[in-house]
Amino acid sequence: MKPLFPTRYHLSGAALAVLLTVSPLAQAEISRGAVMASTCFACHGTDGKSTGAIPSIYGIPADSLIATMKAFREDLRAATVMNRHAKGYTDEEIVHIANYLSNIK
């Protein structure tokens, strides 16, 4: 059986460039975001660039993505899967994911 959420640890060129130029602490934060965001890419496409019916999620301003994820988590926004998926993340994790995804060009 295929895993439900195949994880791909894929870093975009832009993210890699950022990783190489920031402090070690910031690096750890960014790579945490990168690892967690990789779980999104199974459905939303590599780097959040969707090729199908599911919306792309890269380059969205972090504030907006954070608000959307919290709305899904609190069942304030209609969803088929995102409401359940969003419940698996803390506020802090959502911030890391949003910061990572917002920087993908």
Nearest approach, Cβ of residue 91 and ligand HEC (Å): 13
Task: Report the interface residues with ligand HEC, using CB under 6 A.
Answer: 5, 39-40, 42-44, 54-55, 57, 65, 68-69, 79-82, 85, 97
What is the spatial distance between Cα 104 and Cα 97, in angstroms, rounded to a whole number? 11
Region of 47 please: left (phi>0), alpha (psi -120 to 50) or beta.
Answer: left
Beta carbon of residue 28, minimum distance to ligand HEC (angstroms, whole number): 19
Nearer to ligand HEC, 18 or 42 (CB): 42
Which CB atom, from 5 or from 22, has the smaller least distance to ligand HEC?
Answer: 5
